[in-house]
Every structure is written in C-alpha cells, then in structure tokens.
C-alpha cells in the first residue's frame, strides 16, 4: 500500500544542492512541500522552480519550507540553477534533492511505470509539522503545477486545523467557510462563531472566516 493521507512522511538522508539533508531534522517544526521534477534542464520544471523561489515570502508567512527533487545529481542541479536564475529572474532559495539512486522517489512512489519508468512524475506532498502527509497532488510531466492552488490548499489546511470549519469549492483566504456537520450544539456554535452564520440547509451553514 502506498503513502496515504495521515501517513508519516518517510524520513531519509540524501544529497542536495545545500549539502547532505536529513529530511525530518531539516523540516523541524515547519510545514513542508516536497515536489518532484522529471529531469533537470527541462522547460516546465525551470518555470516551476523559479515560481517557488519568487513565492518564498508567501511560504515563509505560512511557516512552509520548500524542497524539490530530481533524479539527476548535485553537479547537474547546480548547473541547472544558473539557468533557472538567469531565465526566471530570481535566486533559488531552497534545496533540490539529488535522487540518482531513486531512494526518495521510490519511498514516495514518484515513479509511475505506465507514465515513464525512469522519470519522476510531478508529485506534490504537503507535510505538516508532525510529519504527517496532509495532501498529495500528482500531475503528468507535461503539465506545470499551479502554486497558487498549493498556497490555497495550505491556507485551508492551516485554517481547518485550528477552527471547526471546512472550506467550500473555490474558497480563497478571506471567503466564508462552512461549519463542520459534527458541530451541532447551539451554545458551542454561538461561542465559536460570534459573527453568526447562514443555514442554507441544516448541514450547510456558512459563516465568516473565523480568524479574520
């Protein structure tokens, strides 16, 4: 059985562009996005790494560390970094794992033989401070990731961890949320949601985002 939501993200030690990296120790008490790339010096990956570098402030604000992976070696990664920085107009500010032996790719099931038996797919793992896998997204090699969606996902996870709410379709930070169905006590609801709520149905109750 592969990794599932709620599983502990496997620990590993692997070389990276910032030296040897022991994953759990490096992650510390931060959230992490671990995201894989099919190969160095490929066009879509180059734009993705540049985009994540430009979003560092957004990730820092949410307490998130970024960690990329490709099956090429550190020397290749460092040469590629020059291209990324020149073409994307930003300094790379997070490590890229060198996974030539496929150790991490296999631990995280990033190689899908029916897609390609040597290259990693575009996997994304969102990992919380307890090292639990909270979300996964997998894209084909041909499709670049939407990092605005990944930030939105992290916002939702962090909000719903601390309040008795869920986020509806297309929710963005600041929009109304829904009260979880398990919460039924009127007194508890009134205390938790002093701004009130709109019960469209008994099970569909919208309320202003509680941490705003």
For the chain, what are the domain ranges?
13-145, 163-207
The residues carrying an active-site annotation are: 45
- Calpha distance 135→65 (Å, rounded): 15
Domain range 13-145, CATH class: alpha beta
Give the pLDDT of the chain (212 residues) as one tens digit per residue.
578 899 999 999 999 999 999 999 999 999 999 999 888 999 999 999 999 999 999 999 999 999 999 989 999 999 999 999 999 999 999 999 999 888 998 899 887 544 444 455 578 999 999 999 999 998 888 899 999 999 999 999 999 999 999 999 999 999 999 999 999 999 999 999 999 999 999 999 999 999 98
Collect all residues with Cβ–Cβ distance below 8 Å to 180 and sequence separation of at least 6: 164, 165, 166
* CA gap 114, 171 in Å, rounded: 34
Kindly state the tokens that stand for 1: 């059985």
What is the DSSP pairing of strand 122-127 with strand 96-98?
unpaired
- Report DSSP letters for 95-133, one per residue: -EEE-TT-HHHHHTT---TTT-SSS--EEEEEE-TTSBE
SS3 assignment, position 91? coil
User: pTM value?
Assistant: 0.91
């Amino acid at each position: 059985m592969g990794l599932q939501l709620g599983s502990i993200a496997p620990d590993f030690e692997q070389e990276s562009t910032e030296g040897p990296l022991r994953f759990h120790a490096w992650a510390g008490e931060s959230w992490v996005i671990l995201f894989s790339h099919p190969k160095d010096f490929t066009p879509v990956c180059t734009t993705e790494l540049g985009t994540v570098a430009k979003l560092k402030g957004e990730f820092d604000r949410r307490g998130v560390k970024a960690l990329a992976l490709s099956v090429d070696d550190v020397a290749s990664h460092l040469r590629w970094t020059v291209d990324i920085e020149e073409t994307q107009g930003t300094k790379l500010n997070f490590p890229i794992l060198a996974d030539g032996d496929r150790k991490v790719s296999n631990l995280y099931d990033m190689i899908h033989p029916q897609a390609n038996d040597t290259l990693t797919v575009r996997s994304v793992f969102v990992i919380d401070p307890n090292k639990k896998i909270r979300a996964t997204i997998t894209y084909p090699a041909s499709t670049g990731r939407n990092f605005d969606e990944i930030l939105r996902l992290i916002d939702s996870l962090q909000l719903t961890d601390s309040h008795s709410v869920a986020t509806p379709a297309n929710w963005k930070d600041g929009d109304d949320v829904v009260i979880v169905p398990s919460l039924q006590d009127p007194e508890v609801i009134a205390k938790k949601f002093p701004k009130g709520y709109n019960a469209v149905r008994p099970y569909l109750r919208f309320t202003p985002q509680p941490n705003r």
